[in-house]
Amino acid sequence: MENGLIVTKIKDGTVIDHIPAGRALAVLKILGIKGNEGNRVALVMNVDSHRIGKKDIVKIEERVINNVESELITLIAPNATINIIRNYEVAEKRKLRIPDIVVGILKCQNPLCITNNDPEGISKFSSVSKVPIVLKCDYCDTELTEDDVLRQILS
Amino acid sequence: MEDVISAYDFSRDQYLEIFSLADEILKGRKIKMKEKIIAEAFFEPSTRTALSFSAAAQRLGMNVIGFSSQEGTSVVKGENLADTIRMMENYSDCIVIRHKFDGAAKFAAEVSSKPVINAGDGKHEHPTQTLVDLYTIFKTFNTIDGLNFGLIGDLRYARTVNSLLRGLTRFKPKSVYLISPPPLKARKEILRELNYEYVELNSPYDVLHDLDVVYVTRIQKERFPDEVEYEKVKESYTIDEKIVNSMRKGSIILHPLPRVNEIDRKIDVSPHAKYFYQASLAVPIRQALFVKILGE
Ligand SMILES: Nc1ncnc2c1ncn2[C@@H]1O[C@H](COP(=O)(O)OP(=O)(O)O)[C@@H](O)[C@H]1O
Ligand SMILES: [Mg+2]
Ligand SMILES: [Zn+2]
């Protein structure tokens, strides 16, 4: 098997594969994993990948990924695959796709945007480009790049 | 037609219909909409736009309620925009909003079930100014297609520029020259979507003789890190006799007003100067817009 399963197999859980090298920690951040949750978590960083050069892999035992989380993951890891592991085997593979609209998760970078200035304001972005990712605020037209998204997730 | 938030909210046909209705109004057609109430929510001060909306409403026999600055309203007590809009939609048939925040008009339109007209949201858009601008051009040349446009000055923070660039996508301009100092170039988010040719320039001199429409916006001192920088660029974007002398015959100068000193007052008497004529069309075009939105 590819990369020879550098870390021990997990019985049930999720493997997020094909994360661009260096972004595994950002994926953990999206998932809210700090390390004190008790699940076993394995990070594989900077391994060779045929598809994307160098990649990271995140493996988490006993954890499912919800829709908001997978949306956020696509924004920083557009080629990621989510593998659902049951009884040591890959039971299901989900290929992620970048959503057309992203509501409420990210913040508009324009401090004068209404979404940052009204208690009822909710951010809403439409993707105007998928490679590279560019999101545009539906209210003020300010763009978010992949770097901006990464920075927001990591901050 | 429902809300008017962006210059994109009009199709080409809708622009042309509004122009021809404004023509009829100018020729003396009387339209009365007595039962209707317009609410003006001007959270940011305005002279021209607020007055022209009020005058347009009153010419149609409508009543106008609202405020022209936040002072004295519950907004200063901390009421949020959504709640103010909910109140105003109960009292009126249509809300005209000006607000300092980008996207405020779209937000208001989502809250309100009554139509919302954007009279300027921050540095974002001002679509009814575009109606005035395009109508002036249409009346002068009898077309908008095939003309050469030069937009001069602050193209980055001027909401009238964003709306005009978007409005022009409904027509077929020959070329659009975007003339500004580098820090005030038009926003790439806006440029990316345009369906016509544009060229970005630092100085107007190379293209002046080609332009049919010279659209001037003010360069604000606050946009520059220091006064020296500002003084340096100010000169080259001031419309003076030197510039006007190189303009082609029949070409026009427009300005959304108010102007400060970006157009030399000597130019006011030039046949190219159409900005006061442009301002005079603000009321009939807004009358036509109200009729389109609210029905006769
Ligand atoms: N039981 C398991 N425990 C931990 N990781 C696993 C397990 N099974 C598969 N993986 C990992 O999940 C990813 C997807 O597995 P697989 O479908 O076999 O490979 P590929 O997607 O490369 O064809 C690989 O990175 C693999 O190492
Ligand atoms: Mg693989
Ligand atoms: Zn925004």
> pLDDT (tens digit, 9 = 90+) per residue, B67-110?
987 776 666 666 789 999 999 999 999 999 999 999 999 999 99
Per-residue pLDDT at B75: 65
Interface test with B, best of A126, A140, A142, A144 (most B CBs within 10 A): A140
Interface touch A114/B192, C-beta < 8 Å: no
Residue A41: is its pLDDT beyond 80? yes
Fold of A2-94: Alpha-Beta Plaits (3.30.70)
Question: What residues have CB less than 8 Å from B204, skipping those under 6 apart?
Answer: B150, B152, B177, B179, B214, B236, B237, B243
pLDDT recorded at residue B46: 84
- Percentage above 90 pLDDT, chain B: 83
Q: What integer pLDDT is reported at residue B77 of this predicted model? A: 61
pLDDT value, residue B37? 98
Percent of chain A surpassing pLDDT 70: 95
Of the listed ranges A130-144, B42-56, B90-104, B224-238, the least confidently predicted one is B224-238
B99 annotated as ligand-binding: no
The pLDDT value recorded for residue A112 is 95
Contacts of A144 in chain B (CB under 8 A): none
Q: What are phi and psi of A118, to 5 degrees?
A: -130, 135
Helix%, strand%, coil% for chain A, nearest 5: 20, 35, 45
Which CATH number does A101-154 carry?
2.30.30.20
Facing residue for B102 by CB, picked from A114, A120, A128: A114
User: What global pTM score does this model have?
Assistant: 0.89
CATH class of residue range B127-279:
alpha beta
Task: Quote the CA–CA distance of B192 and B198 in Å, as a whole number.
Answer: 11
Q: Which helix (H) or strand (E) holds A124?
A: strand A124-129
Tokens of B111: 């809250």
Alpha-carbon distances of B68 from A97, B36, B53, B225, rounded to whole Å: 47, 20, 12, 32
Nearest residue in chain A measured CA to CA from B125: A140
Question: How would you classify the pairing of strands A124-129 and A134-137?
Answer: antiparallel
Interface test with A, best of B124, B166, B191 (most A CBs within 10 A): B124
Residue A3 reports pLDDT greater than 60: no
Mean pLDDT across the stretch A62-82?
Answer: 90
pLDDT of residue B294: 97
Among the partner-chain residues A118, A128, A142, the one whose CB lies closest to the CB of B81 is: A118
A113 close contact with B: CB closer than 8 A: yes
* In chain B, where the domains are located: 7-125+282-294, 127-279
Say how many Å lie between the CA of residue A154 and the centre of ligand 2: 26
Under CATH, what is the fold of the domain B7-125+282-294?
A: Rossmann fold (3.40.50)
Least confident span in A128-142, B233-247, B281-295: B233-247
**For residue B15, what pLDDT is reported?**
98
CB pairs under 8 A between A and B: 55
Binned at pLDDT 50, 70 and 90, residue B38 comes out as very high
Quote the pLDDT of residue A34.
Answer: 86
One-letter amino acid for residue B198 of the chain = Y
> Tell me, what's the pLDDT at A129?
92
Bridge-based pairing state of the strands A89-95 and A81-86 = antiparallel
Mean pLDDT of A28-36: 89
Does any CB of chain A come closer than 8 Å to the CB of residue B102?
yes
- Which residues of B carry out catalysis? 48-49, 77, 98, 126
Is there an atom of ligand 1 within 6 Å of A83 CB? yes
Are residues A114 and B82, on separate chains, in Cβ contact within 8 Å? no
Q: What is the dihedral of CA B50, B55, B61, B65, to 10 degrees?
A: 30
Q: Mean pLDDT for chain B?
A: 94
Of B107, B123, B187, the CB nearest to A118: B107
The answer to whether A143 faces chain B, any CB pair under 8 Å, is: yes
Q: What is the pLDDT of residues B195-235, one digit of tens each?
A: 999 999 999 999 999 999 999 998 877 777 788 888 877 77
Q: Is it true that B7-125+282-294 and B127-279 share their CATH fold?
A: yes
Q: What is the mean pLDDT of residues A38-63?
A: 90
The string of pLDDT tens digits covering residues B270-295 is 999 999 999 999 999 999 999 999 99
Mean pLDDT along residues B239-259? 94
Mean local confidence (pLDDT), B154-182: 96
Q: Do A140 and B102 touch (CB under 8 A)?
A: yes
Spatial contact of B164 and B154, defined as CB atoms under 8 Å apart:
no
- Answer yes or no: is the ipTM higher than 0.90: yes
Can you give the residue ranges of every domain in chain A? 2-94, 101-154
State the pLDDT at residue A1.
45
Q: What is the 3-state secondary structure (H, E, C) of B71-136?
A: CCCCCCCCCCHHHHHHHHHHHCCEEEEEECCECHHHHHHHHCCCCEEEEEECCCECHHHHHHHHHH
